[in-house]
Amino acid sequence: MSGEIRINREALERFCTNVFLKLGLSKAEAADSAEILVAADARGIASHGVGRLWRYENGLKKGIMSGGVQPEILRETPISLVLDARGAMGLSLSKATMAKVIDKAEAVGAAFASIRNSNHFGIAGFYTEMAARRDMIGISMTNTAALGVPTFGRHAMFGTNPIAVSVPAMEGRMFTLDMATTCVTRGKVEVYEREGKSLPLGWAVDTTGKGTVDAHSLLEDMLFQRGGGLLPLGGEGEQFSGYKGYGLAVLVDIMTAVTSGGVFGKSVIDSEATSARVCQFFGAIRLDLFRDPNELKGDMGRLLEELMSAEPAEGCERVYYAGLKEHEAEALSEKIGVPLSAKVAAQLRQIGQDLGVAFPG
């Protein structure tokens, strides 16, 4: 990739940790936040990685998000937890909440939590894999600023609203489905705008509800809530089942926001400066509720092998299962460094200069 550099993972985490410390986070909050952001880049998910560090810097400086905040426990049982994050760091709070959910599931078999009034939590799959490494099925979701247009609509009524599920297999392998419920994310539209490319027809609609290929106008319209937005998974109308993606997106709002008493739908709004307050949901289910864990993981391994050995279509090299590309990218990042675009590296250097933190490499 033109303009790409590779940075040692530990060095990049250390840099981000020191930036967060300078911005007032505790050591634990800073380390957890850095770990989760860098994990996204290591897996090739640059849209959710350290390129977002400037938003955290801005949010912390303006008090939109805060370190050292103790969330309010709204309700708790042996199998459940509901929190008001009170504007805490979404990354570190989500990791701590998932850890508590896993501990509860360890004791009683399954557990769930929802959070309101939180902030961006990075890649949803980070939290589900925490559970998978403990012989559990992991679930996580978050709502986001309203960017998605419902089937037959013209105004954004829900976010990109990702869902993630992880299930472990033998030898450390796992299935990790981590997906937005819209056709694409806003980040991908931003890439097309930077490169001056037209969007594929079927990704988004304009203010009239008709398909658009104009990335710049779409981004402007979404930012200022003028109408238009991203289409749900499946695309426009009913022919390609866009209503299924629409339903999934609304389901995420229900599980994250309605269960926690938080903000949902069109009321979740980003600004030019920072991200909206959002809601999250986490779950963990012990494998032994169903079967002997090793037997279940053995069957999972055979299923994944079957998928990988499927004959590829003409012109394609191989068949993947959910999470395989990311896990292979992460293994490569451990060997040769985490990939960053030249633009993101320049942003990080500037942030480091402003805060007196040396950028690695």
Q: What is the pLDDT of residue 274?
A: 61
Report CA-CA distances (Å) from 74 to 217, 257, 335: 41, 14, 44
115 in the same domain as 4: no
99 in the same domain as 53: no
**Residue found by looking up tokens 């459940």 in the block:** 80
In the predicted model, is pLDDT for residue 196 greater than 90? no
Mean per-residue pLDDT, 148-163: 94
Residue 219 lies in a domain: no
| Residue 1 binned pLDDT confidence (cut-offs 50, 70, 90) | very low
Residue where one domain finishes, among candidates 308, 323, 346: 308
Q: What is the pLDDT of residue 192?
A: 84
In the predicted model, is pLDDT for residue 72 greater than 60? yes
92 in the same domain as 22: no
177 in the same domain as 30: no
State how far Cα 206 lies from the chain centre.
25
178 in the same domain as 30: no
Number of folded domains that form the chain: 2
Q: What is the pLDDT of residue 236?
A: 85
Residue where one domain finishes, among candidates 269, 290, 308: 308
161 in the same domain as 26: no
Q: What is the pLDDT of residue 47?
A: 85
Q: Is 138 helix (H, G, I), strand (E, B) or coil?
A: strand
Q: What is the pLDDT of residue 55?
A: 86
**Residue found by looking up tokens 């796992």 in the block:** 174
Q: Name the percent of the chain lying above pLDDT 70.
A: 98
Q: Which CATH number belongs to the domain containing residue 32 in this structure?
A: 1.10.1530.10
Q: What is the pLDDT of residue 272?
A: 62
Residue 278 lies in a domain: yes
Residue 211 lies in a domain: no
Domain extent at residue 142: 69-185+227-308
Q: What is the pLDDT of residue 273?
A: 59
Residue 295 lies in a domain: yes
276 in the same domain as 146: yes
Lowest mean pLDDT among 31-35, 179-183, 239-243: 239-243
Q: What is the pLDDT of residue 224?
A: 86
Residues forming beta bridges with residue 7, ordered by sequence position: 338
Lowest mean pLDDT among 197-211, 228-242, 259-273, 342-356: 259-273
In the predicted model, is pLDDT for residue 195 greater than 90? no
102 in the same domain as 166: yes
Write phi, then psi, for 219 (nearest 5 degrees).
Answer: -60, -40
- What does the pLDDT look like over 35-52, one tens digit per residue? 999 999 999 999 889 998
Residue 90 lies in a domain: yes
232 in the same domain as 277: yes
Residues forming beta bridges with residue 202, ordered by sequence position: none
Q: Which CATH number belongs to the domain containing residue 164 in this structure?
A: 3.30.1370.60
What DSSP string describes 143-174? Answer: --SS-BPPTT-SB--B----EEEEEE-GGG-E
Q: What is the DSSP letter of 3?
A: T
124 in the same domain as 272: yes
State pTM to two decimals.
0.94
Q: Name the percent of the chain lying above pLDDT 90.
A: 85
75 in the same domain as 53: no
| Residue 2 binned pLDDT confidence (cut-offs 50, 70, 90) | low
Q: What is the pLDDT of residue 169?
A: 98
| Residue 243 binned pLDDT confidence (cut-offs 50, 70, 90) | very high
In the predicted model, is pLDDT for residue 144 greater than 90? yes
Residue 159 lies in a domain: yes
- What does the pLDDT look like over 297-308, one tens digit per residue? 999 999 999 999
Residue where one domain finishes, among candidates 291, 308, 325: 308
350 in the same domain as 259: no
Residue 259 lies in a domain: yes
Residue 193 lies in a domain: no
